[in-house]
Structure 1
């Protein structure tokens, strides 16, 4: 008995369907979805402060703290007793006031800047990216903005 043409087509179609279902082949003319491209954007991680919000860590004159609102931070170290006060938070920095025995000042600290306060004056330097912690110098208070993310600023305070 010879299979008819219809029977052969049904058998061939069934075999092709079984092969496709088993992952053994493809059927010609079947639409294959185009590959999709996914674009991901990486945001740099928010800076973290070594001392968190433990402002008492600044009593020895050196600390790295996170601030997210007005705060008075008591300072020690060779720059003498004093206070570093955050007055206002901004999206990209802080307004501050510094009061030391022989120096002080007020202003705005933004970006990756470092301010220094010493008897008879002060200074500042800024860069495009975070720099290493300031080198402690006798009688000098250095304040460095590590970064600002989501309303929290990370500050390094270093007194020699």
Structure 2
């Protein structure tokens, strides 16, 4: 019996060696049902510029990018560059000037009569609320969470700005008119 076992040993070694060669050739580690894939040649690999996607706005504001929609103090628009938004404030003409906008960034100034108010926010989900009244204004900046459209307040224009990951900020103006 010892002689039979000794004769089988070389065969076992040959079979084992063949299995190792076959496993290496098949590409170890993948699904058995999935064929091995060759990596593309350097000339076939996509360049970094090809893999970059053009960002799309994360929301669809009611008035799109129409700045003129804000003239009456009620609108919801998206901006992706500095702009001036004229609107009717509690004491007459007012202007919201977006001075900086980018990925998760918004900075602006509101001017009405002789007064002005500034706000800025940086980071995902951040923004500011400015309440413009005939006798002054107030700001609050920070996380907006799930804040929806701001509520109108008597004799005031409420301005909410929200940062966007894609570099598009959403501006909402709400008045009681």
The TM-score bracket by the shorter chain reads 0.5 to 0.7
Aligned counterparts of 1:106 and 1:147: Cα–Cα separation in 2: 15
RMSD: 2.5
Runs (5+) with no aligned partner, structure 1: 1-31, 36-44
Question: 1:1-150 maps to which residues of 2 (within 5 A)?
Answer: 33=32, 46-78=58-90, 80-101=92-113, 103-110=115-122, 111-118=126-133, 119-124=135-140, 126-150=142-166
Runs (5+) with no aligned partner, structure 2: 1-30, 35-56
Q: How many residues align?
A: 120
**Maintained 8 Å contact 2:82/2:98:** yes
Q: Give TM-score, length-normalised by structure 1.
A: 0.63
**Maintained 8 Å contact 1:79/1:141:** no
**Maintained 8 Å contact 1:65/1:155:** yes
Q: Which is helix-richer, 1 or 2?
A: 2
- More deviation, 50-59/145-154: 145-154
Residue 80 (structure 1) shift:
3.0
Residue 77 (structure 1) shift:
5.0
